Amino acid sequence: MKELVLRYGTNPQQSPARVYMQSGANLPIVVHGGSPGYINLLDAMNSWQLVRELKQATGLPAAASFKHVSPSGAAVATPLTETLRKIYFVDDLELSPLASAYARARGVDRLCSFGDFVALSDTVDVSTARILAREVSDGVIAPGYQPEALEILRKKKLGKYAIVEIDPAYEPSGLETREVFGITFEQHRHDRLVSPADFANLVTIKKDLPAEALRDLTIAWITLKYTQSNSVCFVVDGQTIGVGAGQQSRIHCVRLAGQKADLWRLRQHPHVMNLPFRPEIKRPDRDNAIDQFLRDDVTPNVKAAWNDIFTSAPRQLTSDEKRAWLGVMDGVTCGSDAFFPFRDSIDRAAASGVKYVLEPGGSARDEAVIQAANAYGMTMVFSGVRLFHH
């Protein structure tokens, strides 16, 4: 296929639109179902690169849930606890390794993953297809599909679900171009891969990096590479638990990522896991209700609406209960795509259990940031590699 004609571009008023290879070669993708749009394919190309590199770096099946050209979640295949299976709504399913990776990537931030585009590093199996079939999602990209998995996905959205297969051997040119306002920009493609040397410069007093931390540092490094700058992500247990993307201030990235990480942790509180939902309430509505339930600024009108969601009015967690539950979160990795210019980011990261920090270094205030990390007993790595993505 030389080109794929799209219904429109970024917005409905931007037509005509298409994707094609400037070289005239065939596209490295095949569409097996649906009609992916311009934004879908931007998400597909970015997310495929992310999961491909995660698989290359860790040797584990990888998945990403993308929205508007940034990941809402990314993960590699590690076993899920019963608690995570429940809050990710997969406790009724048998999970393959690939399905486990996607359950993590999709489940960590279910509000942001609503209507996602999915990337999977491996051939899609039936286990993974069954999760995809029941979630609100726009499409998926993968290097292949088992026949039965493909049939499951072709039934989704009355056949309109975008199913994209990419040639896993495809490698683009070393140069990439884009046109903005009639002006062509050209640069060398960001093809630098993560390396063990990126984690060798330990700048804090504490210098321990267990295998799990190295894995999570790797996931943070690769995730940031494909997240809109400025970006910060929190990672634990082989998955992102909070991504702060596209903010103009780095502290706002940290606050956003930290807030998402805290919500992820609070969703595991026994009181939250046992909220008395009416049986007919669907998963997306439960997600929204849990998000509101955990807020401190719930209005009387919102509480009144809970009568239609819960069988009885639930008691909200107190601030002390939240702090006590969040206080046990530990071993979290915080990665940043550029240096932290002030210690405020470290102070906020510590509140969400961060013990390992990855950043390039290079700020005039590096020493103040290192001192803050030392005060919290963190291990900080200066990678020397900036990871801006625009």
Active-site residue list: 67-68, 230, 390
Question: Can you give the pLDDT at residue 353?
Answer: 97
Question: Can you give the pLDDT at residue 1?
Answer: 83
Examine domains 3-166 and 193-265+326-382 and report if their fold is the same.
Answer: yes
- CB 121, CB 145: distance < 8 Å: no
Q: How far apart are CA 204 and CA 314, in angstroms?
A: 45
- CB 359, CB 340: distance < 8 Å: yes
> What is the DSSP secondary-structure string of 230-253?
SEEEEEETTEEEEEEES-SSHHHH
Q: How far apart are CA 19 and CA 7, in angstroms?
A: 11
Q: How far apart are CA 355 and CA 379, in angstroms?
A: 6
Between helix 97-107 and helix 126-134 the angle, nearest 10°, is 20
- CB 176, CB 166: distance < 8 Å: no
- Domain boundary assignment for the chain: 3-166, 193-265+326-382, 275-316
Place of tokens 């997600």: 287
Q: Structurally, what CATH architecture does the domain formed by 3-166 represent?
A: 3-Layer(aba) Sandwich (3.40)
- Mean pLDDT for back-to-back runs of 10 residues, the chain (390 residues): 93 95 93 96 98 98 97 97 97 97 97 97 98 97 98 96 97 94 96 96 97 97 97 98 96 97 97 96 95 92 92 94 95 97 97 98 96 98 97
Q: What is the dihedral of CA 139, 145, 146, 152, to 10 degrees?
A: 20
Looking at the DSSP assignment, which residues form a beta bridge with residue 233? Answer: 243, 335
pLDDT by residue (tens digit) across 54-64? Answer: 999 999 999 99
How many C-beta atoms surround the C-beta of residue 370 within 10 A?
Answer: 21
Question: Can you give the pLDDT at residue 210?
Answer: 96
* CB-based burial, 314-335: b 16+ in 10 Å, e otherwise: bebbeeeebeebbeebeebbbb
Angle at 163 between CA 124 and CA 123, to 5 degrees: 15
Pick the CATH number of 193-265+326-382 from 3.40.140.20, 3.30.750.200, 3.10.310.10, 3.40.190.10: 3.40.140.20
Question: Can you give the pLDDT at residue 221?
Answer: 98
- CB 141, CB 119: distance < 8 Å: yes
